[in-house]
Structure 1
Amino acid sequence: MWITYVWLTAFLLVFSASITVAQDPVIIGNLRSSALTEVSGITASAYGSKVFWVHNDSGDRSAIYAIGNEAGLIATLELGGVTLVDAEDIAALSIGGISYLLLADMGNNLRDRDTLSLFLFKEPILEPGRDNYRIEADEIREIKFRYKDKRRDAEALFVDPIDNRIYIVSKRDFKSTVFSLSLSAFQEESVYELEPQMQLPFTFVTAADIRQDGKFILIKNLNSVFLWERKKGQDIISTLKGDFKNIPYKIEPQGEAICFDRDDRFFYTISERPFGLDAYLYKYDY
């Protein structure tokens, strides 16, 4: 797995060398917690200044984690009644003025899973001095889905704040493919069948996010970050079919997470820690 990762990273670096020039982002902090070795998703908290929710991917317990402005672990949130297989991204959204989190258990490296899951739950308000929280099973909504044409692996999703429609971007297709599903149309016990909406002109997407006002969209693969500016009244698919900027990006050991902040000013990335390598919370201007 690691050899494959290194080879692919080298290939993508050569492929995009003409369009990507690394810049030096601001280092916010070093992720040191032993509980966070394979961070594959990040989203900004609605309730804390410079607080982020992150999670590990396969092999971890059913939990997400709050980290602070210096990447230190603040709190652990247990998800009751949930068994995670391979959580790959997390997004924030608002329903009726209340902040929710959407955790995507959709990693499918071997394409051996037909049905995948998203878990929707209210974001807890963190209390000073408290570092453990739990959400019970009856407070968590599971949204099941499958791809209509074939099984896929995906590590990136975001939720349009305009209409709360969910967008998923595949990873291992020759060209990463975009899918969408309506949160408002979901019915309990049903399984969404997702059809391809479009293909992006690159592959191996590992993370995505949309700004809380819906104006900018970020999608990253192993060695590049791409930014779209959405015009007023424009839908997501039309936006992604348009022009984008390649944002200078500092290559991480295994960068699989990206998010905007709540101030509409910066975006952040963080990496897994393969072989115990350092992983930093980076801040970028765009």
Structure 2
Amino acid sequence: MISRIVSVIVFSVLTLLVVAQDIGTDRITMGKITDSRLNELSGMVKSFKNPDSFWVHNDSGDSARIFLIDKKAAVQAEFWLEGVSLVDAEDIAWFEEQGKSYVVLADIGDNRGVRKDIQLYIFEEPLYQAGQQRVLIAKEQIKKIVLRYEDKPRDAEALFVDPKDLTAYLVSKRDFQVGVYPIDLKVARAQGHAELKRACKLPMTFITAADIARDGQHIVIKNLGQVFYWKRDADASIIQLLQTKPDTLAYQPEPQGEAICFGEQPTTFYTVSERPLGLDAYLYRYHIAASAQQN
């Protein structure tokens, strides 16, 4: 654990060399993680169907399930994916298609870089009903996409889906300059598989999470110590955007903060942490300074 933290600090210092400026934020504590089932939270995304709620999940070692938590970080229900066996789920994303909202659970973690294949699981977003505690998502409702890197296995913990064209973007974790890998979800869902080809590199490392705002114009990517922020011009592609220098959003590091997501508006984002060594973890809301939205 100590060596990992030291590595992150070193990487964060190196990353500062490419950052344009630091944008102010205001942080509010929304609630404390108290449910023992939420011991290693690694991914989070704002729910579309369930107001003031978030989809979260643990990483390696947990069962094939996700949780719906409210804005105070209390569990509303757990949702099980029938017929799915997870290895290391590390992020969760959302997209809308033909009036329906979908969840993407990314089983993409690979600490040792040995997995031949990794997987995405896509299913229509559940609508929570009061009183539900444990809900089964039928296997017939889940689409599995098998992914394989074109060169070699690698670790990844970050994925988001561009709402403009339904391209998913996977960001690797441990490369000294992390890679960005596009996935055409329309094609991948039809074929059931896709090859991961790197489209660009980013001069940062140890990336643990990413998200894109619902308007498709704002992106955040984080490691354990920093949150990088891009604002997109109307005609810019995601790859073009990510090759420009990001700003950083003021962020207070958490015990092991591996999850981030935008709120319903791009003026806010949320973070939550694992609970290493029994340390407390909280759901935080950050409000981004108005100047960032005007740039």
Smaller-chain TM-score bracket: over 0.9
Equivalent in the alignment of 1:11: 10
SS at match of 2:187: coil
Distance 2:193 2:3 in 1: 33
Deviation at 1:6, TM superposition (A): 2.1
Equivalent in the alignment of 2:168: 166
Equivalent in the alignment of 2:286: 284
Unmatched 5+ residue regions in structure 2?
289-295
- Pick the aligned partner of 1:98 from 97, 100, 108: 100
What whole-Å deviation, never above 9, does each CA across 1:81-135 have from its counterpart, x for those lacking one?
A: 0000000000011121101100000100011101100000011111112222110
Unmatched 5+ residue regions in structure 1?
none
Q: Pick which of 17-26 and 78-87 moved more.
A: 17-26
User: Residues 40-189 of structure 1 correspond to what in structure 2 (within 5 A)?
Assistant: 40-186=42-188
Which residue identity is paired with 1:3? I
Equivalent in the alignment of 1:202: 204
Q: Residue 26 of structure 2 contacts residue 287 of structure 2 at CA under 8 Å; is this kept in 1?
A: no
| 1:222 maps onto 2:224 in alignment | yes
| 1:35 maps onto 2:37 in alignment | yes
Q: Residue 156 of structure 1 contacts residue 169 of structure 1 at CA under 8 Å; is this kept in 2?
A: yes
Deviation at 1:159, TM superposition (A): 0.1
What whole-Å deviation, never above 9, does each CA across 1:28-65 have from its counterpart, x for those lacking one?
A: 11111100000000000002222000000001111000
What whole-Å deviation, never above 9, does each CA across 1:208-264 have from its counterpart, x for those lacking one?
A: 000001010000011000010000121100111113211111011111100001133
Which residue identity is paired with 2:9? A
| 1:236 maps onto 2:238 in alignment | yes
- Pick the aligned partner of 1:267 from 255, 269, 275: 269
Distance 2:99 2:270 in 1: 25
Q: Pick which of 230-239 and 190-199 moved more.
A: 190-199
Distance 1:209 1:21 in 2: 18
What whole-Å deviation, never above 9, does each CA across 1:154-200 have from its counterpart, x for those lacking one?
A: 00000000011010000000101100110111255653111110011
Deviation at 1:13, TM superposition (A): 4.9
- CA distance 1:22–1:252, shift in 2 (3 Å): farther
Let me know the Cα RMSD of the aligned residues.
Answer: 1.7
Which residue identity is paired with 2:72? E
Distance 1:67 1:79 in 2: 17
Richer in helix (by share): 2
Q: Residue 22 of structure 1 contacts residue 250 of structure 1 at CA under 8 Å; is this kept in 2?
A: no
Q: Residue 32 of structure 2 contacts residue 280 of structure 2 at CA under 8 Å; is this kept in 1?
A: yes
Q: Residue 66 of structure 2 contacts residue 79 of structure 2 at CA under 8 Å; is this kept in 1?
A: yes
Which residue identity is paired with 2:158? A
Q: Residue 91 of structure 2 contacts residue 157 of structure 2 at CA under 8 Å; is this kept in 1?
A: yes
Distance 1:96 1:280 in 2: 35
Q: Residue 50 of structure 1 contacts residue 261 of structure 1 at CA under 8 Å; is this kept in 2?
A: no
What whole-Å deviation, never above 9, does each CA across 1:143-164 have from its counterpart, x for those lacking one?
A: 0111101111000000000011
Distance 1:263 1:202 in 2: 26
Which residue identity is paired with 1:93? F
Q: Pick which of 56-65 and 22-31 moved more.
A: 22-31
The count of corresponding residues between Structure 1 and Structure 2 is: 285
SS at match of 1:87: coil
- CA distance 1:237–1:14, shift in 2 (3 Å): closer
Distance 2:277 2:134 in 1: 28
- CA distance 1:23–1:276, shift in 2 (3 Å): farther
Distance 1:107 1:244 in 2: 25
Which residue identity is paired with 2:266? D
* TM-score, structure 1 as length reference: 0.95
Which residue identity is paired with 2:133? D
SS at match of 1:11: helix
